[in-house]
Structure 1
Amino acid sequence: MRRLGIHPEQGTDSVRLQSDELEHRRTSTVLADVLPTLSAGLGAVVDASLQIMVVADPEGRVLWREGNAGVLRRADAVCLAEGADWSEDTTGTNAIGTALSVDAPVQVHAAEHFVRALHEWTCAAAPVHDPRDGRLLGVVDVSGPDTTFHPATLALVDTVTRLAESELRTRHLTAIERLRAVAAPLLSRLSGRAMVVDTHGWLAAVTGMPPVDRVPLPDDFGAGRTWLPTLGTCVAEPMPGGWLLRVTGTEDHDGAARIHLDLADPRRPCVTVSGSAGSWSQDLSPRHAELLYVLAVHRQGRSAAQLAVDLFGDPTRTVTVRAELSRVRRRLTGLLDHRPYRFREEVEVGVLLPEDPLDLLPHSTAPAVLGARSAAEPARS
Structure 2
Amino acid sequence: MPGPGLPEPAVAPGQDPRKYARLMSAVYDATMAGSRAPARPRGVIWDSWQRLIAKGLRPDRRTPPVATASTVEQLRQDSGLTSVVDEVSRSLSALISTGDSIFALADAEGRVLWRSGTPKVLVNADKLGFVEGAHWAETTVGTNALGTALVSQRAVQVFCAEHYNRSQHPWTCAAAPIRDPGTGRVLGVIDVTGPAATVHPATLALIDTVARLAESQLRERRDQSLNRLRVVAAPMLARIGSPALAVDAEGWVAAVNSVPAQSRILLPPDIAPGHTWVPSLGMCDVEPLPGGWLFRLVKDETEPAIVHVMLDLRSSAAPALEMVGQFGSWQHDISLRHAEILLILAVHAEGRSAPDLAADLYNDPTRTGAVRVEMSRLRKQFAGIVVGRPYRFADSTVIEVRYPPDRSELLAPSVAPAIRAIRASQGTGCDHVL
TM-score for both structures, normalised by structure 2: 0.54
Paired AA for residue 236 in structure 2:
L
Which of 1 and 2 has greater Rg?
2
Q: Is the Cα–Cα contact under 8 Å of residues 49 and 148 in structure 1 kept in the other structure? A: no
Question: Considering only aligned residues, what root-mean-square deviation do their CA atoms show, in Å?
Answer: 2.0
How far is 1:3 from its partner? 3.0
Which of the numbers 137, 151, 155 marks the counterpart of 2:205?
Answer: 155
Which of the numbers 51, 57, 60 marks the counterpart of 1:6?
Answer: 57
SS at match of 1:2: helix
Matches within 5 A, 1:273-352: none
Matches within 5 A, 1:1-381: 1-9=52-60, 11-48=61-98, 50-248=100-298
How far is 1:52 from its partner? 1.0
Worse overlay, 220-229 or 147-156? 220-229
Paired AA for residue 105 in structure 1:
A
Gaps of 5+ in 2: 1-51, 301-434
SS at match of 2:97: helix
How far is 1:234 from its partner? 2.6
Call closer, same or farther: CA 1:132–1:223 in 2, change over 3 Å: farther
Paired AA for residue 245 in structure 1:
F
How far is 1:222 from its partner? 3.5
Q: What residue number does 1:297 align with?
A: none
Paired AA for residue 177 in structure 1:
N
Worse overlay, 59-68 or 137-146? 59-68
Q: Is the Cα–Cα contact under 8 Å of residues 43 and 67 in structure 1 kept in the other structure? A: no
Gaps of 5+ in 1: 251-381
Call closer, same or farther: CA 1:14–1:242 in 2, change over 3 Å: same
Q: Matches of 1:138 and 1:44 in 2, distance apart? A: 22
SS at match of 2:92: helix
How far is 1:157 from its partner? 0.5
Paired AA for residue 138 in structure 2:
E
SS at match of 2:265: coil
Q: Matches of 1:219 and 1:121 in 2, distance apart? A: 43
Q: Is the Cα–Cα contact under 8 Å of residues 173 and 191 in structure 2 kept in the other structure? A: yes
Call closer, same or farther: CA 1:153–1:187 in 2, change over 3 Å: same
Paired AA for residue 201 in structure 2:
P
Q: Is the Cα–Cα contact under 8 Å of residues 99 and 121 in structure 2 kept in the other structure? A: no
Worse overlay, 29-38 or 43-52? 43-52
Call closer, same or farther: CA 1:218–1:117 in 2, change over 3 Å: farther
Q: Is the Cα–Cα contact under 8 Å of residues 110 and 146 in structure 1 kept in the other structure? A: yes
Paired AA for residue 129 in structure 2:
C
Listed one character per residue, the Cα deviations across residues 69-100 of structure 1 (whole Å, up to 9, x for unaligned) are: 33222211111111111011210111111111
Equivalent residues, number: 249
SS at match of 2:294: strand
